[in-house]
A and B are shown apart, each in its own frame.
Chain A
Amino acid sequence: MIRFSWVQFRLQAAVAGGALLIIAVAFALTGPNLVHLYSTIVASCTAHGNCSTATDAFLAHDRLLQDFGNLVIALPAIVGIFWGAPLVARELETGTYRLVWAQGVTRSRWLAARLGLVALASVAVAGLLSLMVTWWSSPIDRVNMNQFTSVFDQRGIVPIGYTVFAFAMGVAAGLLIRRTLPAMATTLVGYVAVRVLVTFFVRPHLIAPVRTTSALHMSSGMSYIESNNGPLGVIGAKPGAWVFSDRIVNAAGHSVTGDFLSRGACLQSRGSAACLGKLREVLVYQPASRYWAFQWYEMAIFIGLAVVLGGLCFWWIRRRIS
């Protein structure tokens, strides 16, 4: 049954393999150059004092290939829609289930082989793509220091979890809806909904964030962030960490508003001890050291969801196809 599953999957595997190969070649050709540029332009920028221009110039390279990070975002949905949704739906829609389920293997065995093979392939594709993008982007990520924040879902191992989950969702949708196109649409909507839910409502609470209150010291890389008469905040305090909030409070613990900076001692020097003296910084954040813990937890969540969906598929295929 595995061999037959391969016969049916060959074309899709070839397309994926070809695409990965092209990306690998593109990255292999440009990656070492990026590393070189980083070590020459950026690594020494602090000594030359021109970091902001140096980083801007650096980041301008290979803009197109940087968009391949988006491919990592799109990959799970693509796998779910093109590998997952048609798996069972196509057989039901074209009637070939009446041929293949009348052969000498049970439906469960059939599903296990089809599901297993393509799930493994999904893991492989997602893993390889993520690996390539993470490797190639590492100089850029070192400049942007945003792995834990804006590019969290395009790096590391979470794309594998997303992809397997989207695949399982696709198979389940195809099995229940029984027609390929509606199943594809449902998979996309469902996948996006779950991703949004987890990103905004689950991920922040996976580990209780660290709260610190300390004296305010503005060092290089940090700057104020102010909104119109709103609370005054700081950015750049913890590079590489995931900062939830970074507020400036006075000795009484109340938020300080932006107009504070335009009064008294701060008018002369915003960084002086006289200005900052009694101010404190209240920081709520996830330290950069927790990055991999979050990666593993989130991947585990999505793999868990995928396993549940997969189990349901096995239950449904024995009962609901009538």
Chain B
Amino acid sequence: MIEFQLDTASGVATYLQLIHQVRQALQLGLLEPGDQLPTAQQVVSKLAINPNTVLKAYRDLEREGLVRPRPGQGTFVVGTVPRTDPSIQARFMMSMTKWLSSAHSAGLSLDDIEAIYRTAYRNYFAEGVA
């Protein structure tokens, strides 16, 4: 069974961290279909977080088709994380390299590039802000 960790300094919502850790465990093979996730009680008695957070994370995972609750027994892994097609990965790697080179030619420093990247990332993936 996996054990969840909480990074309070990361600024990432707790339930998202839990979801991320489940996905990562699936990707690394630490979790396989049929495995049971820790119960809300087990998670909160170690992490001292609100049980609703755990339930919310598990509900989102269920919606993605990765886990399913079995009434009276617990929540079990049913799916796998789709591995991204390597050719798609390669394609975006190329367009990213092109973007970096044009940014560099335009005179942006490394810090500028990093700031732009971080801001755009946060703006796109953070909740509730367009």
A touches B (Cβ under 8 A): no
Which residues does A use to contact B, with CB under 8 Å? none
